[in-house]
Chains A and B, each alone.
Chain A
């Protein structure tokens, strides 16, 4: 027996089973981009470079960092990012 939980779709099934990704905005004008360092090595370098690129084209950025790379980001940090920005880049690099 497969123990994976299984639900039945309550909708009219007019959308795909996989949830659609959010559509990227047509423009970055007036938007603020969160740059989040998840704490892995050299992630900050990647964020620094991105920050420079964004600054050149006049897009506002804000820096954030997870307290540790071994655990998911605290809810308060996620809420802060969502409240202060419209877009986010998460540095996953090693």
Chain B
């Protein structure tokens, strides 16, 4: 529809007071107004420029958007209601070519670059597309009543994990899609249990709902791709009666770039990236895959990590081999490791002073995973705090040494573990009575060691795995590089 406030035959200048070049050419705009016809579209001040009869205040930036303005001032010449020419910034020769002698601007420099248009500021452009343009989104629209709270509408439709979600509006989804170079219609994979096709657009919608920032998108996509690796057995994990859910560990520059927490309270609350990336994965499984608690998710008790469970490894010590590198990713690359994790089990040892003492002590804690008398009933993640790690480092033990020594002390005589031993029916079959039995699978899969945590506290954390990991060739932790 033609804009009746702009001349069909004449000039339009888009400007803002906040732009020094626009202020510089204010006398030129006044001169062009006298030569007429002219309309100035002012983005930020209805009284700017002074001395011009037709100033169209564009505080909603709709005209700037529809005129596709990228910088100001922009001078456009219209003929028969159609744009025929435009120039950006101030360049006397160009302005005079478009607008004639009235654009001479005596006394002004011959040339001065303009400023960015308000309509293309970060976040604004996506909002304008959502309001006035075609967002190009394929997901169906859900109308919400004028007087209804969109957040409550999300609850009513069963789209949440029990906590409020950010309502997925076009504006927010477009901003989220701006965080990845991948096309919105690209299929990331089939999400269990319904094996529903999940596009980058659906990932973005759920990332919005989880509270992610657009710059988290490459990590969220990497996490999802790792979760869909058949070796991770996401379907089995989400329908198990066991406690476990996906635990996400991020390594490499991506974790630093988006400000993930690997320090104080790394496994707790308070960091947006940690909190929302893990949550986005769970919302995708819920919403796209249909993995609903009480339906296909048959967890007897579950664990709080099924809202979100995601943290970064502390890679600040150059002597430490990061988890991702240990698992085959090149140093310096960003990666995600997914583990079938139950809740955090705190491990206290304030008396050990040597690596030998501490590794034996840690083994006592690790024996408790699943049940102290069960072996190979799930692997474990050991989150080493800085103070516990220091004991190993001071003793000259690196990751490999810790793994090797830990594996050796995680063996127990079968006679102590068989059914009925220690007066407890649970345990191993009698055939193990004369064997030395490994608690976990061989390293590094048996115990994934990760460094994280605050500087103070001789505490580490043990995160038990899922009994499904027993079938090693079919179910494992997965590590994948994160694509930019």
Contacts and interface: CB of A to CB of B under 8 A. Distances in A.
Contacts of A3: 146
A11 B284 CA distance: 8
Contact of A7 (B132, B146, B168): B168
Contacts of A4: 143-146
A10 B148 contact: no
Contact of B288 (A5, A8, A12, A19): A12
Given A10-B205, A11-B159, A13-B139, A5 B290 contact: no
Contact of A19 (B139, B141, B156, B167): B156
A12 B196 contact: yes
A8 B170 contact: yes
Interface string B291-323: 000000000000000000000000000000000
Given A11-B159, A11-B288, A12-B288, A6 B141 contact: yes
B157 A8 contact: no
Interface in B178-213: 191, 194, 196-198, 202, 205-206, 209
Given A4-B143, A5-B146, A10 B283 contact: yes
A23 B194 CA distance: 22
Interface string B108-151: 00000000000000000000000110000101111111101010
A6 B142 contact: yes
A7 B150 CA distance: 8
Contacts of B325: none
B153 interface: yes
A17 interface: yes
A3 B283 CA distance: 28
B291 to A, nearest CB: 11
A75 interface: no
For A1, A11, A13, A17, which residue has the most chain B Cβ atoms within 10 angstroms? A11
Interface residues of A, number: 15
A14 B198 CA distance: 13
A11 B170 contact: no
B31 interface: no
A94 interface: no
A4 B202 CA distance: 22
B287 interface: yes
A7 B288 contact: no
For B143, B154, B170, B173, which residue has the most chain A Cβ atoms within 10 angstroms? B143
A1 B169 contact: no
Interface in A1-57: 1, 3-14, 17, 19
Contact of B170 (A6, A9, A13, A19): A6
Given A10-B159, A10-B287, A11-B287, A5 B150 contact: yes
Contacts of A9: 139-142, 205
Contacts of B283: 10
A14 B150 contact: no
A17 B140 contact: yes
A18 B341 CA distance: 36
Nearest to A5: B144
A8 B196 contact: no
A7 B144 contact: yes
B168 A8 contact: yes
A4 B209 CA distance: 19
A7 B152 CA distance: 12
A13 to B, nearest CB: 6
B274 to A, nearest CB: 21
Contacts of B142: 6-9, 17
A3 B145 CA distance: 10
A53 B30 CA distance: 85
A8 B159 contact: no
Contact of A6 (B169, B191, B206): B169
A3 B140 CA distance: 18
A60 to B, nearest CB: 26
B290 A12 contact: yes
Nearest to B198: A12
For B144, B154, B156, B157, which residue has the most chain A Cβ atoms within 10 angstroms? B157
17 contacts: A5-B145, A6-B143, A6-B169, A6-B170, A7-B150, A8-B142, A8-B173, A9-B139, A9-B141, A10-B209, A10-B283, A10-B288, A11-B159, A11-B290, A12-B191, A12-B288, A12-B289
Interface of A: 1, 3-14, 17, 19
Closest 5 CB pairs of A and B: A12-B196, A5-B144, A8-B139, A10-B287, A10-B205
